[in-house]
Amino acid sequence: MDWLAVILLVVGLAFIIFSLLLLFKRGFVEKLRQGIWKPKEYEVFPEKEGYSYDKYTRGIGLLVAGLLMVVFAIYSLL
């Protein structure tokens, strides 16, 4: 069995789940912005734009990356 493809499949699925939580679960981005994604005083984006960046740019980017990983893993396992 190709272990790299299996690991890529698991990581891709984790990316997809996390991105769907970012995009669709209410309050998830706010909780992350209070903890690990705490905005800094020197941050490029202000409060509202930073929220949109965290939700949509990171969410859609992780979704696309996860989908590409899953597709590549399935293709290599076939």
pLDDT of residue 32: 77
| Structure token pair of residue 11 | 């990581």
The DSSP element (H or E) to which 20 belongs, if any, is helix 3-24
pLDDT of residue 29: 77
Band of residue 17 on the pLDDT scale cut at 50, 70, 90: very high
- So where are the chain's domains? 3-77
CA dist 54 and 42 (Å) reads: 16
pLDDT digit string, tens, across residues 26-77: 887 778 777 776 666 666 666 667 777 778 888 899 999 999 999 999 999 8
